[in-house]
Homo-oligomer: A and B are copies of this chain.
Amino acid sequence: MSFLSTSSPKLAPWKVLLVDDEPDIHDITKLTLSRFRLDGRALSFVHAYSGAEAKQVLARESDIALVFLDVVMESEDAGLEVARWMRQDLDNQFTRIVLRTGQPGQAPEERVIVNYDINDYKEKTELDRTKLFTTTFAALRAYRDIMKVEEARQQQMHYREGLERVIAASAHIFQQRNLQDFANGLLQQVVALLRLEQSMLLRLRAATAISGENNYEILAQIGDIDGPLLSPELLTRLDNSKVNKITHLEGDTYIGYFPNNSGKHSLLILKGVEEICELDIKLLEVFCSGVAIAFDNILLTQEITDTQAELILRLGDVVESRSNEAGNHVRRMAEVCHLLASASGMSEEETAVLQHAAPMHDIGKIATPDAVLLKPGKLNAEEWEIMKQHPTVGLSILNGSQRPILKAAAVIAHQHHEKYDGSGYPQGLKGDAIHLYARIVAVADVFDALMHKRCYKEAWPLEQVVEHLRSVAGQHLDPYYVDLLVQNIDKALAINQRFPD
């Protein structure tokens, strides 16, 4: 049996395990060391009366600083076996071991100290009050010294592991390509970084916010929000962070501030963070400085991508405007192409290329003379031949680029008047010989022309449009994409509503 007997000090006591089969030894040791203090800390004793019992205690309690270990107990070398087991099997290198033997002949000092990883060897007879005291003092001081270094090692290790998590989290953040994914990813990574448990995650009220002039836009949030997230009090603190450009932790709310080259402030708000340690705050700061860079990059990429898309749409508009076909034709076509491509399972990247390239399909009409392009009546054979040149002209305008979008635009411009049965122009291509993109554009183009008023026709009712599309499926149009369009007609109509003429 073992029990804990403590003198009640203010500082945690040093835990000493007494292992001896003679109860008297326990009592005398306790008594002798009752006034012991090292660094203001007293002793607390744990008792074991056999080697087996000592092992149980040691396996259970990892914070034992010192063991006084008898040699001869249930066997002649029971104590030595405990010493061996501690270092080898339990892999405990820190607890100090003082061997205390009553029969030195049984365990000769030199042999024992060489063969067993013990720290001191005493014969019971030599352990008078003074020696017991000084032995304990020296052993505990050695334990203290080694634990001080061990704690420093662990601190370095935790910091190192934290930095590794920061690097992994940053890698994730830097791979995001749009603002929404970035913001969501950021919060997830912060949660992972702080090793918040599920229960704490639910309590976490967190949001990333950009502050433009006076308003905050919430980009992402995780966790239950009861009541408004941006309370007047929180808003005051956000403004404070923004104005003073500082990060601070107050109460249960952490507000991380980081400026951006774009001139927009961004703020990371963590609510419900009551116990965040210094290390985590430091890691958070390291992480946030990377986030600020990623954020800048995202905004820049987004700006360029948006500019590109807008440029293409305006280019498409310009071409359409020459044919007096104003309105949102090219915007709707781009969206319907996106709809059909997505529905067919095309990759996100290819879908984006198609969407951006589609508005340029009629670019060749730029070279069609006014006399043909703007003729109010029906074209004669010669005029029709001129009109039919626009796909080839479009190809010549867009040809020869290595850019995926321009390559796609070139093939679309060239092939969007081909027909599935081979009766189209300019090449008379048939079926799968027509590029996928061009087949999709053809469906979107015909659909849009039928659904809207043109100078030469009225808008058709939906039923008649669907009926017509079905009737030309396999002839003019690829039946697969006609089917997809009909299946997703609600979404197509929603696009038309979003971009009316």
The interface of chain A, by Cβ under 8 A from chain B, is 93-94, 109-110, 113-114, 117-121, 130-131, 133-134, 137-138, 141-142, 145-146, 148-150, 152-153, 156-157, 159-160, 163-164, 166-167, 170-171, 174-175, 177, 286, 289-290, 293-294, 296-297, 300-301, 303-308, 310-312, 314-315, 317-319, 321-322, 363, 366-367, 369-371, 397-398, 401, 403-406
Contact = CB atoms under 8 A, between A and B. Distances in A.
Chain A contact residues, majority secondary structure: helix
B163 A138 contact: no
Contact of A311 (B146, B297, B300, B308): B308
B142 A113 contact: no
Contacts of A131: 109
A100 to B, nearest CB: 14
Given A134-B109, A301-B301, A366 B322 contact: yes
16 contacts: A109-B130, A109-B131, A117-B141, A118-B138, A119-B141, A149-B153, A152-B153, A156-B156, A160-B160, A163-B163, A167-B286, A170-B170, A171-B290, A171-B293, A303-B403, A321-B367
A341 to B, nearest CB: 19
Tallying the copies of this chain within the complex gives 2
A282 B243 CA distance: 41
Nearest to A118: B138
A306 B304 CA distance: 10
Contacts of A297: 174, 297, 301
A307 B318 CA distance: 19
A11 to B, nearest CB: 17
B367 A322 contact: yes
A293 B168 CA distance: 12
Contacts of A159: 160
Given A159-B160, A160-B163, 9 more contacts: A113-B137, A120-B138, A149-B153, A163-B164, A167-B290, A300-B301, A307-B308, A311-B312, A318-B397
A-B residue pairs, 8 tightest by C-beta: A156-B156, A153-B153, A163-B163, A160-B160, A370-B370, A307-B403, A113-B134, A149-B149
A83 B311 CA distance: 79
A175 B293 contact: yes
A308 B314 contact: no
B314 A397 contact: yes
B366 A369 contact: no
A134 B146 CA distance: 20
Contact of A406 (B289, B307, B370, B404): B307
Contacts of A134: 109-110, 113, 121
A133 B371 CA distance: 113
Given A156-B156, A166-B167, A371-B370, A310 B149 contact: no
Contacts of A300: 177, 301
Contacts of A286: 164, 167
Contacts of A138: 113, 118-121
